[in-house]
Structure 1
């Protein structure tokens, strides 16, 4: 179970519900779905800890998992067309509903919300040319 698995699961949920998902959306939905999974007990803590194998980084448009971003950057701002299957360990009704809710929100609203996160604000000054290397610890993602 990895952060790439989370990305693939989100894309599968999006396609199953006929919701387009861009790379920028994917990054924000990954961040906020993981945050909700932790804070609302939507997934077991051990699943979340095992999955968080690559940290979010502080970037201009909010938290980004660089490997996932690079994987889907070929799509630019257009919807991701790759097909994936739902990941068993993540496939529960409440978590998938939260993913759909996030996918249906304006992506720039999610960007603005991610900029209100304390870790992002504390590290914004380290962003150069749109990217930063400040790494979110798992507990930084879950902070209220």
Structure 2
């Protein structure tokens, strides 16, 4: 699958849930990063085959950035869905709905700040050149997040 397909599905969800025009290119990039990270950690498979790069404002899928760059800081227009045909498996669509629910309400600057604290971004960002964030590093980071959350849940339950 291509990252642009995931991005368009996020737009489809925004329109379906009447979330308004709320997804900028900046926010979309972070949503894609989280989707790829959680998918790698939970399934050991990549969600999309595009690379994620470490840019000044966090992780970016360049092909999707280029597709939506015309919107600048504004929300991506739902007209991008004019030729979109939802062809995802039920399992993938359900996973993306979960990621959408988890990330769509968080303002883009907060997502930027959070991703700037993630080890894969920190280890690969350079002011001098653009670097790819290796998928194995993204997977390892999100695997660690799963372990931390599981520890928090156990502590909360007194286990």
TM-score (normalised: structure 2): 0.74
**Correspondence for 1:139 among 125, 128, 136:** 136
Indicate the RMSD between aligned Cα atoms, in angstroms. Answer: 1.9
- Which structure's relative contact order is higher, taking Cα pairs within 8 Å and 6+ residues apart? 1
Tell me what 1:16 maps to.
16
Q: Hey, what does 2:103 align to over in structure 1? A: 102
Q: Tell me if structure 2 keeps the 8 A contact 1:58–1:134.
A: yes
Alignment of 1:1-144 (within 5 A): 1-19=1-19, 20-39=22-41, 41=42, 44-46=43-45, 48=46, 51-52=48-49, 54-81=50-77, 82-83=80-81, 84-89=84-89, 90-92=92-94, 94-124=95-125, 126-128=126-128, 132-142=129-139, 143=141, 144=144
Pairs aligned (count): 133
Q: What secondary structure sits across from 1:77 in the alignment?
A: coil
1:40-99: per-residue Cα shift (whole Å, max 9, x none)? x3xx544x26x22x211110110001111010010111111121343413211x431221
Provide the C-alpha distance between the structure 2 equivalents of 1:88 and 1:45, rounded to a whole number of angstroms: 18
Runs of 4+ with >6 A deviation: none
**Runs (5+) with no aligned partner, structure 1:** none
Report the structure number with the largest CA radius of gyration: 2
Provide structure 2 residue ranges, at least 5 long, that are not aligned to the other structure.
145-159
Per-residue deviation, 1:138: 1.4
- Determine the C-alpha separation between the residues in 2 that align with 1:122 and 1:45: 21
What TM-score, normalized to structure 1? 0.81
Counterparts of 2:76 and 2:38 in 1: how far apart (Å)?
Answer: 23
